[in-house]
Amino acid sequence: MSKITDIYGSNVFNDSIMKERLPKATYKALKKTMDKGSTLTLEVADVVASAMRDWAVEKGATHFTHWFQPLTGITAEKHDSFINPTGDGKVLLEFSGKELIKGEPDASSFPSGGIRATFEARGYTAWDCTSPAFIKDGTLCIPTAFCSYTGEALDKKTPLLRSMEALSIQAMRVLKALGNASATKVITTVGPEQEYFIIDKALYTKRKDLIYTGRTLFGAPAAKGQELEDHYFGTLKERIAAFMSEVDTELWKLGIAAKTKHNEVAPAQHEIAPIFTTTNIATDHNQLTMETIKKVALRHDLVALIHEKPFAGINGSGKHNNWSMATDDGVNLLEPGETPHDNAQFLLFLTSVIKAVDEYAELLRFSAANAGNDHRLGANEAPPAIISIFLGEQLEDILEQIEKGGATSSKTAGLLSLGVDTLPSLPKDATDRNRTSPFAFTGNKFEFRMVPSSASIAGPNFILNTIVAESLREIADRLEKAASVDTEVQAIITEIVKDHKKVIFNGNGYSDEWVEEAEKRGLPNVKSTVEATKALIADKTIEIFEKHNVLSKVELESRYEISLENYSKVLNIEALATLEIAKRQIIPAVIKFSTSLAGSVAAVNAAGVGADVSVQADLLKEVSSLTTTLKNNVVILEETLAKTAAIVDTYEQAYAYRYDVFEKMQAVRAAADTLETMVDAEFWPLPTYGELLFNI
Ligand code: ADP
Ligand code: MG
């Protein structure tokens, strides 16, 4: 294997390549656009494009694509080759500045939530020079933003970039008011931890539910689950280790700083985490990470499941979105330092997040909602659907002191002695961890743990950035008008603590008591994606998104439609797959098994030795009666599905999918899963949970 330092970033048109290959003036102009957002001239773009082409062609690329993130949640690419015929039967390889800056994909086949009619197909992609171009499978990929002919954002990247700008503007106002003269920009940083399952490909191909929906729609629990807690951090199996090491190599080539990998809690579950970077790049990188995991798995005859809940009764997968804010001169604004109680800047930025999360809890909840995550949030292992913040002992103590009139000390943790002379004394963290909190302060960043494993992290982050930008705006407004900034800082922090401490919770977020307590505190507990979607078009959402130029009312309304439509479509596919598997695989298999039982009863009786046939006969009776239940539930599901498909109102329809169709699917599954425990394994048509989870 080649050295990491050699392969790292080898497929990225990164800063060092640009420095090396661009004329000085072009490099400077491009950097200015990247850092300060100044407009890029076509002249500069032409020079950059031709350098990009030369570099890509040297690396064996034949095509280029505008790589974008439509509202499907995955990425899109249409490949164009560099060739341009010269008329003498030969070709030149060309790539112009115009082609670099702007693309024109047909917008009509991507979700637009009613913004575009299909006959008005024009859409544009625009080069996002803040995220570097890269080569993937012989194609030069240009990260781009995607919008409609009339300029509405049709993707995940546009609002993310706008939200980063909004947060920077407001955070800079606060910093200036506090007397910071060195920072010129504030960026948001993200390090997403990605969970996923790996199963054997041969078994996967026998499960239509996994193929169509990414999760098992049937399956009785295996004898063993995760109760021995023997998988988390366990030694990597050889096949998994080989796969993971190839994933790392592929990611490193793309300049993705894959850092941590380990087995997760559930059997067959794993996690990968990169070193954090700018939110925009982290988002692109996370999309590429999911894609790479899936692609490399196949090379090893494995299949990666990125779905939030592939297996009932077993932990699901999420993404821990570690988030912070930093100045362009490298100061993490959520770094508490040694004595956080007298670090006004830290406390101000910390409380701005607390205020935002409390005031826009429903919106944040929506940002983590999708059909897959509905199986996790509020289920046994996952953060509950209630948004709360874990701060830890030290910070909670400081906020309490502030509320009582002023903070004078920071609790320290000291050293931890293990009582063995040869072992080192360990410096203790100021706070323990809390794994049950959906939004936890973890040392110098917040970890938003509700995020769905399969979703783009753009959604949660543009919402987080926007609500914090709004908090910071209010704070900046006050600081700029204040006679004494120091006094005003104290006043602001004290007020925020008083008004928003209800969202802070350091206890066990998975307990029933917390659900009750949260209700008493008036914290929202939004049950499913359907209800959560409403937050997107709430008046106060529209107000702040328009104020900070992140999304217009029209754009928000289109996303509302898309979210509900997508939810209904996912549920519809699941229901159809449930019916197909029940009718064409499970019921026929059970009938065959019943026939063999009946045959046995008849054969034993015919032997005329008076042998006892009660085992076969009883089983036959039981299986037959369950098969009737299964068949009846299939009919009910079919009827419910037909009724639901006919509902015109998008919200009502999604609601019916959740509370009618979904419940009827569960009934079909319940009967089938019981049958699975009774039917001869030879007859059962689907690989079982035991086989899927424990065969690697
Ligand atoms: P855990 O112990 O919570 O599993 P990991 O070390 O696996 O933590 O992941 C923590 C993630 O947080 C990493 O991706 C790391 O780079 C990221 N991170 C650290 N500091 C910051 C920061 N200031 N902003 C955003 N992300 C950060
Ligand atoms: Mg973590």
Residue 561 lies in a domain: no
Report the SS3 class of residue 395.
helix
Shortest-distance atom of ligand 1 to CA 274: 14
Ligand nearest to the CA of 383: 2
Output the CA 261–ligand 1 centroid distance in Å: 13
Output the CA 629–ligand 2 centroid distance in Å: 44
What is the model's pTM?
Answer: 0.95
Buried-state track 122-159, b at ≥16 Cβ within 10 A, e below 16:
ebbbbbbbbbbbbbbeebbbbbbbbbbeeebbbbbbbb
Cβ < 6 A, ligand 1 pocket: 189-191, 193, 260, 273-276, 322-324, 332, 444-445
Residue 420 lies in a domain: no
Specify whether 208 is located in the same domain as 144: no
Residue 559 lies in a domain: no
Tell me which H or E stretch contains 83. strand 83-85
Residue-wise pLDDT tens digits, 528-571 = 999 999 999 999 999 999 999 999 999 999 999 999 999 999 99
Residue 311's pLDDT is what? 96
Mean pLDDT of 261-285: 95
Mean pLDDT of 410-426: 72
Residue 472's pLDDT is what? 98
d(CA 574, CA 661) in angstroms, rounded, equals 10
- Over its C-alpha atoms, the chain yields an Rg (Å, rounded) of 28
Domain boundary among 496, 517, 551: 551
Least confident of 100-109, 116-125, 236-245, 573-582: 116-125
Query: Among residues 357, 268, 362, 359, which one has the least CA distance to residue 321?
Result: 357
Shortest-distance atom of ligand 1 to CA 332: 23
Residue 21 lies in a domain: yes
Residue 418 lies in a domain: no
Mean pLDDT of 331-354: 95
Please tell me the total number of residues recorded for the chain in this structure.
696
Specify whether 546 is located in the same domain as 619: no
Biggest CA-to-CA distance, the chain: 105
Q: What is the CATH number of the domain that holds 117?
A: 3.10.20.70
Specify whether 287 is located in the same domain as 336: yes
Output the CA 321–ligand 2 centroid distance in Å: 8
Q: What is the CATH number of the domain that holds 689?
A: 1.20.120.1560
For the chain, how many structural domains are there in total? 3
Question: How would DSSP label each residue in 278-342?
Answer: EHHHHHHHHHHHHHHHHHHHHHTTEEEE--S-SSTTS---BEEEEEEEEETTS-BTT---S-GGG
Domain containing 663: what range? 567-694
Residue 557 lies in a domain: no
Specify whether 384 is located in the same domain as 297: yes
Specify whether 140 is located in the same domain as 269: no
Specify whether 119 is located in the same domain as 265: no
Query: Among residues 399, 411, 385, 405, which one has the least CA distance to residue 354?
Result: 399
Domain boundary among 551, 584, 606: 551
pLDDT band of 379, cuts 50, 70, 90 = low
Specify whether 504 is located in the same domain as 573: no
Question: How would DSSP label each residue in 53-72?
Answer: HHHHHHTT--EEEEEB-BTT
Residue-wise pLDDT tens digits, 560-597 = 999 999 999 999 999 999 999 999 999 999 999 999 99
Q: How many CA atoms lie within 13 A of 504 on its CB side?
A: 20
Q: Tell me the pLDDT of the chain averaged across its residues.
A: 93
Specify whether 578 is located in the same domain as 540: no
pLDDT at residue 380 is higher than 60: no
d(CA 27, CA 34) in angstroms, rounded, equals 10
Specify whether 369 is located in the same domain as 246: yes
Hey, whose CA ends up nearest to atom 13 of ligand 1?
A: 191
Residue-wise pLDDT tens digits, 306-332 = 999 999 999 999 999 999 999 999 999
Shortest-distance atom of ligand 1 to CA 334: 23
Residue 118's pLDDT is what? 53
Hey, whose CA ends up nearest to atom 8 of ligand 1?
A: 193
Specify whether 50 is located in the same domain as 171: no
Name the burial class of residue 439, with classes exposed (0-12), middle (13-18) and buried (19+) by CB atoms within 10 angstroms of its CB: buried
Residue 470 lies in a domain: yes
Hey, whose CA ends up nearest to atom 14 of ligand 1?
A: 191
Specify whether 388 is located in the same domain as 535: yes
pLDDT at residue 120 is higher than 80: no
* Six-digit token string for 649: 């109102």
Q: What is the CATH number of the domain that holds 467?
A: 3.30.590.10
Output the CA 506–ligand 1 centroid distance in Å: 20
Residue 73's pLDDT is what? 81
**From 232, 276, 447, mutation site for ligand 1 pocket: most ligand atoms within 8 A of C-beta:** 276
Specify whether 147 is located in the same domain as 214: no
483 Rama sector, left if φ>0, alpha if ψ -120 to 50, beta otherwise: alpha
Residue 419 lies in a domain: no
Domain boundary among 95, 124, 155: 155
Backbone φ, ψ for residue 268 (5° rounding): 70, 10
Q: What pairs with residue 153 in β-bridges?
A: 147
Residue-wise pLDDT tens digits, 39-84 = 889 999 999 999 999 999 999 999 999 999 999 888 999 899 999 9
d(CA 388, CA 510) in angstroms, rounded, equals 12
pLDDT at residue 411 is higher than 90: no
CB-based contact 432:441 (threshold 8 Å): no
